[in-house]
Amino acid sequence: MDETLSKAERTRKFIIEKTASIFNTQGYAGTSLSDLTQATGLTKGSIYGNFENKEQVALAVFDYNYTTILRISRELINLAGTYREKLLIYSSVYHDFMESSFPQGGCPILNTAIEADDTNRLLKNRAAEAIFKWKENIVKLIQEGSLAGEFKPVIDEAQMALSIIALIEGGVMIAKVTDSQKNLDEVLKTVKMLIDQMTVK
């Protein structure tokens, strides 16, 4: 237990960690208050004493799940030797989305974006912010790779970044719907092809 946190902060952290997989698997609409009380062992009063409502729990859970992916990606990117390898980290991380290190239920950005598109503006905005941040990170890697002489300088970094994100998220969606990792593998080959096309040989 982290003694640097206050009792309220520890309780909030406990609630988030215990409900993270539920929201990411069942979605916001599919998660009930009884799911939260059962997962945490806390009363309704205890949960709502730490969060204003279920929506606030869902937002905190999204941040938690997204941060998990971000942390895994950053650690591996920092270890990669070339900018090409750094960009390919996103494919490798999402390739293993069914492993235990990945948030249970898959990609929280994809799950939240699909469910909250027309139903919850706050969750939709949180997913959009995550995508924009992801785009910025990829653009930065491409720009740094170009300065280092690894990538061709005349490319549209934003278009490339969005294409990589769309392929990865689309591949994960297809793999989940079809229960086929092979389908994701095929899509990720296209991500590698795009990166190889802009790499100086």
d(CA 150, CA 169): 26
- Cα separations (Å) of 155 from 32, 151, 161, 188, 198? 47, 9, 11, 20, 8
pLDDT in tens, the chain (201 residues): 556 778 888 999 999 999 999 999 999 999 999 999 999 999 999 999 999 999 999 999 999 999 999 999 999 999 999 999 999 999 998 887 655 566 788 889 998 988 887 788 999 999 999 999 999 999 999 999 999 999 997 679 999 999 999 999 999 999 889 988 899 999 999 999 999 999 998
d(CA 36, CA 188): 36
- Domain ranges, ordered by start, for the chain: 61-198
C-alpha R_g of the chain: 19
Residue 180 identity (one-letter amino acid): S
What's the topology of domain 61-198? Answer: Tetracycline Repressor; domain 2 (1.10.357)
The whole-model pTM stands at 0.89
pLDDT for res 99? 59
With beta carbons less than 8 A apart as the criterion, state whether 68 and 100 touch.
Answer: no
Helix (H) / strand (E) containing 54: helix 54-79
The tens digit of pLDDT for each residue in 41-99 reads: 999 999 999 999 999 999 999 999 999 999 999 999 999 999 999 999 999 988 876 55
DSSP, collapsed to helix, strand or coil, labels residue 176 as helix
pLDDT for res 98? 57
With beta carbons less than 8 A apart as the criterion, state whether 22 and 104 touch.
Answer: no
124, burial (CB in 10 Å: exposed 0-12, middle 13-18, buried 19+) = middle
With beta carbons less than 8 A apart as the criterion, state whether 90 and 188 touch.
Answer: no
pLDDT for res 118? 77
pLDDT for res 7? 86
